[in-house]
Amino acid sequence: MTDRMIASSKICVAGYKGLVGSAIVRRLRSGGFANLLLIDRGEVDLTDQRAVRELFAREKPEYVFLAAARVGGILANSTHPADFIRDNLLIQTHVIDAAHTHGVTKLLFLGSSCIYPKDAPQPMKEEHLLTGPLEPTNEWYAIAKIAGIKLVQALRKQHGFCGISLMPTNLYGPGDNFDVTSSHVLPALLRRFDDAKRAGASELVVWGTGAPRREFLHVDDLADAAVFLMQQYDDEEIINVGVGEDLSIAELAGLVREVVGFSGEIAFDITKPDGTPRKLLDVSRLHAQGWTAKIALADGVASTYQWYLENVAQMRG
Ligand code: GFB
């Protein structure tokens, strides 16, 4: 039986200002966990090993949610490969190593669905990891995340360290990055459809062919799954976290167009990369643990658009 967080547990959320970290903080607070150690690049440079070791020696957290990472969409990943592999290797290695060295009770590491082979059988099962070549547009990020998985497993194997690794599918929700070049597809389309509507444009161009399929999990569902699994999952095997269904980018564009209320046409720019054709997660291991996603995509997109209007669009004037 794994150790469980209690109200007085000192819980570190690394990356608490990001999409995932901020959702985990909301979920912890709503669950009565208030003894939180919140760290982000403003408080400590996680690429600096000395700074991370000093922090863990001083603060001695008992539980760690490692949500800090350099993340981005297909264009950011394919144009900044060195940043993605270097920063993520440094951040995760320093935090995981310090957690083990300073006696953290349990650490939760977050990987990604992009760790699986480009042409993995669909839906992708955890055992498909390392069974084929990776998607070239994000292999750098994927290799870093796979190294993180292996470090957590090796520390468990050699030292009995209690670390677990979750593989989330594509995430979206409040607090996302809405920059049109570095962001993921869903926030990018929300922003670009909103800009097009305000500008009275007659057409909106979607990257790629629109044929690739993607699975989307609302970040509040991810946060709920992370707290749920921190409390009850204690196995060396990775565990997929998703909704178990996907849609094409063209279908997603149609959904976003409807939510935003854009009346123009949708065109496709095939000079932009499609990325992996499909990366639907098999979530039977997750369901066997007793957890299922709750937020439907149409509802999640609508509430995220509302959040965007209230927190981003109005700031831009
Ligand atoms: O979300 P996305 O950037 O990353 O792209 P991935 C998903 C699909 O959406 C691609 C298309 O086929 C894009 O061509 N797309 C259409 C767009 N319009 C846009 C747009 O305006 N912006 C963006 N960004 N895409 C990521 C990995 O892969 O998945 C990350 O690169 C991470 O490392 C993340 O693993 C979960 O889903 O292809």
List, for residues 139-166, the tens digit of each pLDDT value.
999 999 999 999 999 999 999 999 999 9
Which pLDDT value is given to residue 317?
57
DSSP at 124: B
pLDDT tens profile 112-144: 999 999 999 999 999 999 999 999 999 999 999
DSSP-derived pairing of the beta strands 36-39 and 63-66: unpaired
Rounded Cα gap, residues 68 and 88, in angstroms: 8
Which pLDDT value is given to residue 314?
77
Which pLDDT value is given to residue 289?
98
User: Which atom of ligand 1 has the smallest separation from the CA of 171?
Assistant: 36
Computed over every residue of the chain, the mean pLDDT equals: 96
Residues of the chain with pLDDT under 70: 1, 317
Which pLDDT value is given to residue 313?
84
Model confidence, pTM: 0.96
The answer to whether the CB of 123 is under 6 A from ligand 1 is no
Ligand 1 centroid to 256 CA: how many Å? 15
The answer to whether the CB of 275 is under 6 A from ligand 1 is yes
Rounded Cα gap, residues 220 and 250, in angstroms: 25
Half-sphere exposure of 64 (CA within 13 A, CB side): 33
Rounded Cα gap, residues 179 and 183, in angstroms: 5
Rounded Cα gap, residues 239 and 182, in angstroms: 27
Which pLDDT value is given to residue 125?
98
Which pLDDT value is given to residue 3?
86
**Domains plus CATH for the chain?**
11-172+216-241 (3.40.50.720), 185-213+246-280+295-316 (3.90.25.10)
Q: In Å, what is the CA distance from 310 to each residue of 88, 167, 244, 315?
A: 31, 30, 30, 8
Ligand 1 centroid to 269 CA: how many Å? 14
Which positions are catalytic? 141
